[in-house]
Structure 1
Amino acid sequence: MPRTDTRTGGRPATTGVIAGQGVLSVGNPAIPTADGFRWVRLTDVARLESGHTPSRSKPEYWNGYVPWVGIRDATGNHGRVIFKTRQWITDEGLANSSARLLPAGTVCLSRTASVGYVVAMGVPMATSQDFVNWVCGPEISSTYLRYLFLAEQETVRRFAHGSTHQTVYFPEAKAFHVCLPERREQEAIAEVLGALDDRIAHNERISGTTNELARAVMEELWFKGDVTSLTRADTVVPHDWRRTTLGALCATGGGAIQTGPFGSQLHASDYVEVGIPSVMPQNIGDNQIAEDGIARIAAADAERLSKYLLAEGDIVYSRRGDVKRRALVRKYEAGWLCGTGCLRVRVGTATEPLFMSYYLGEPEIQEWIAQHAVGATMPNLNTSILGEVPVVLPANNEMRQVNERLSGLDATAAHLQHENRTLADLRDTLLPQLLSGKLRVKDAVRTVEEVV
């Protein structure tokens, strides 16, 4: 049977105080609160639970029906409610480990390696030992606690220790204090913030549909041309089509950090809060650049590194790790820097940037790139590999027709992405003000109603 009792073990709660940025602290910071708010020890209103990883040497413990939350689930879904995980364990794995099946609504905060990421369980799940998990009682809303941890991510990282791997240890977690209003106020705050997140999720679903339609447009092209493979050299293509390589059509280059000449290297001290965005691998999604958490450089550094600035229609690749990821640079992203760990493809006049971006997103092409990447432990991509990517180029009139059909779908996706950035910025602005009581719900509602 799965264990359901709390067994975090180890040392008792620390007696020291580490003040946070606003509404989270180790120990009671005794900071004055807004009317109706109070500092509460989190373990007084929520049950602290740990997690565990069943033995990897026991295949019968894995690929079952119990969702198991790992670090990648948290980093990939930060701030969200999740209903599925990358890995699943069996009832046997649950029974023969220290993992526990936790109820829906449990708030999971990553405490090792990638510290400070938060998700909530949409269904009962287990987690790895990389989390401190909170099963909320009647005095605290799990949705409110999720938003609180989301707002205090940097604070959580300040609580971590370790020279090699940063970790938030259980004595600190047991001493967490949170600044809370009454439960009714918590739910009202969560409802305001949730309205923004619901709109973001709605936009993401529509964007996902437009991407599926775009893939269908590409599939229709290959079907009409009776093209059975994009990568096999012996595949027959129509007489007015041609086979070539990405390097023959486009210029490829690296980001400023890896390939810049002496004197053009960037260091941690070069990054600023307000400046020109520098695109890193973590900012590259499915044909889009995510501005969330993007690094920035000063204008003077951008001028010095001008040869690495992105132009509209460029395609940016992740250089290492998930080398299948690429993003098309939109008009409002022109002038950003191709930064650490990225490669740039500058599309020539023989093809269209939009068509080429969707072509590079074809599953067969993505698999070709992944298979040709170098590196035993972590795949690495370079300009030589990109230059050899096989390209099947249709006749100009057919490519233009496909590009026109893709253009409308892509414009919709780009608009939704831009709107989601605005919504996320508003949410992140309201978040600390509402959680601290500096802004009251009735005042925030009017602002939210104007955009949702």
Structure 2
Amino acid sequence: DSFEDSELGEIPKGWGIKPIGQAVKCVGGTTPSTKNPAFWDGGKNPFVTPKDMSSLTSPVILDTSRHITDAGVDKINSGRLPIGSVILSSRAPIGYLAITEVPVSVNQGVIAMICNKDLPNYYVLHWTETNMDTIKRNAGGTTFAEISKRNFRPIPVVVPQKLVLEAFVQQVEPLHKQVVLNLQESNTLASLRDTLLPKLISGELRVPDAEKFIEEAGV
């Protein structure tokens, strides 16, 4: 196989280089006014902040600590992001990463990358992680470092040939899906523990009843 020169050094012939902002759609978010209960009270739409991402054990968003209403979503220019978006904390600190497994909205501390078949989200996730030093070098800010969308979008990304990307996705996607399943099962078990343990300790629930409850939950 032959190689050719590029701004990033030698790359396989037939591969390309694009600014990440051209390869995927990069958007940001904002926080609806917390003084307006219409944006928050009873909200069911997951709202991602860097704080949510800081506690992740795997790069997957299944839910968030705060939720906003549909009216709150409408106040955010990027609105509700599609499942499969890659999100990056852009400050406080720069570098938390995840793929969204539910539709979410994001605040001003997050850059979201909406991917397509030309550059799949699994590739973008690993590209972002691998190039974190470059991303941080492009950050500004005096009080704390922040990578703006303006400074993030021009960062070059290597775009492999379609067949290579397809082969990459075939290898990575099953692994990612297994991670998601494991997290979902872990969350279910934690919820059952928090529900059943106090009742078992107090004597409100007997062990056979708890076992039946767990069986019905499909765990």
Q: CA deviation at 1:204?
A: 5.1
Q: Give the alignment partner of residue 81 of structure 2, picking from 102, 108, 111.
A: 102
Q: Name 1:49's counterpart in structure 2.
A: 27
Count the aligned residue pairs. 198
State whether residues 135 and 152 of structure 2, in contact with CA within 8 Å, keep that contact through their aligned partners in structure 1. no
Over residues 384-431 of structure 1, what are the superposed CA-to-partner deviations in whole Å (9 max), with x where a residue is unaligned? Answer: xxxxxxxxxxxxxxxxxxxxxxxxxxxxxxxxxxxxxxxxxxxxxxxx
In 2: Cα distance, 1:219 partner to 1:112 partner: 39
Q: Give the alignment partner of residue 96 of structure 2, picking from 87, 97, 117.
A: 117
Q: CA deviation at 1:96?
A: 3.7
State whether residues 22 and 153 of structure 2, in contact with CA within 8 Å, keep that contact through their aligned partners in structure 1. no
Unpaired segments ≥5 residues, structure 1: 1-27, 227-452
Q: Give the alignment partner of residue 36 of structure 2, picking from 51, 55, 58.
A: 58
State whether residues 29 and 109 of structure 2, in contact with CA within 8 Å, keep that contact through their aligned partners in structure 1. yes
SS in 2 for 1:64: coil
Summarize the Cα distance change of 1:169–1:215 in structure 2 as closer, same or farther, 3 Å threshold: closer
SS in 1 for 2:22: helix
State whether residues 26 and 114 of structure 2, in contact with CA within 8 Å, keep that contact through their aligned partners in structure 1. yes
Unpaired segments ≥5 residues, structure 2: 1-5, 205-219
Given the alignment of the two structures, is residue 93 of structure 1 paired with residue 62 of structure 2, yes or no? no
Write the letter of the residue equivalent to 1:77: L
SS in 1 for 2:201: helix
Higher Rg: 1
Over residues 35-77 of structure 1, what are the superposed CA-to-partner deviations in whole Å (9 max), with x where a residue is unaligned? Answer: 4432212222212212111111111111423222111222233
Write the letter of the residue equivalent to 1:159: N
Q: Give the alignment partner of residue 136 of structure 1, picking from 115, 118, 125.
A: 115
Q: Name 1:173's counterpart in structure 2.
A: 152
Q: CA deviation at 1:97?
A: 4.7
Summarize the Cα distance change of 1:117–1:29 in structure 2 as closer, same or farther, 3 Å threshold: farther
State whether residues 61 and 100 of structure 2, in contact with CA within 8 Å, keep that contact through their aligned partners in structure 1. yes
In 1: Cα distance, 2:65 partner to 2:72 partner: 16
Q: Name 2:162's counterpart in structure 1.
A: 183
SS in 2 for 1:192: helix
Q: CA deviation at 1:137?
A: 3.5
Query: 1:344-383 counterparts in 2 under 5 A?
Result: none
Over residues 314-358 of structure 1, what are the superposed CA-to-partner deviations in whole Å (9 max), with x where a residue is unaligned? Answer: xxxxxxxxxxxxxxxxxxxxxxxxxxxxxxxxxxxxxxxxxxxxx
In 2: Cα distance, 1:97 partner to 1:203 partner: 32
In 2: Cα distance, 1:89 partner to 1:187 partner: 36
Summarize the Cα distance change of 1:103–1:163 in structure 2 as closer, same or farther, 3 Å threshold: same
In 2: Cα distance, 1:143 partner to 1:125 partner: 18
SS in 1 for 2:9: coil
Given the alignment of the two structures, is residue 74 of structure 1 paired with residue 74 of structure 2, yes or no? no
In 2: Cα distance, 1:209 partner to 1:101 partner: 25
SS in 1 for 2:12: coil
Q: CA deviation at 1:197?
A: 3.8
Q: CA deviation at 1:219?
A: 5.6
* Aligned-residue identity in percent: 24
Given the alignment of the two structures, is residue 152 of structure 1 paired with residue 131 of structure 2, yes or no? yes
Write the letter of the residue equivalent to 1:60: A
Query: 1:20-419 counterparts in 2 under 5 A?
Result: 29-62=7-40, 63-77=42-56, 80-202=59-181, 222-223=201-202
SS in 1 for 2:43: strand
State whether residues 73 and 85 of structure 1, in contact with CA within 8 Å, keep that contact through their aligned partners in structure 2. yes
State whether residues 79 and 150 of structure 1, in contact with CA within 8 Å, keep that contact through their aligned partners in structure 2. no
State whether residues 144 and 187 of structure 1, in contact with CA within 8 Å, keep that contact through their aligned partners in structure 2. no
SS in 2 for 1:116: strand
TM-score where L is the length of structure 1 = 0.38
Write the letter of the residue equivalent to 1:46: V
Q: Name 1:290's counterpart in structure 2.
A: none
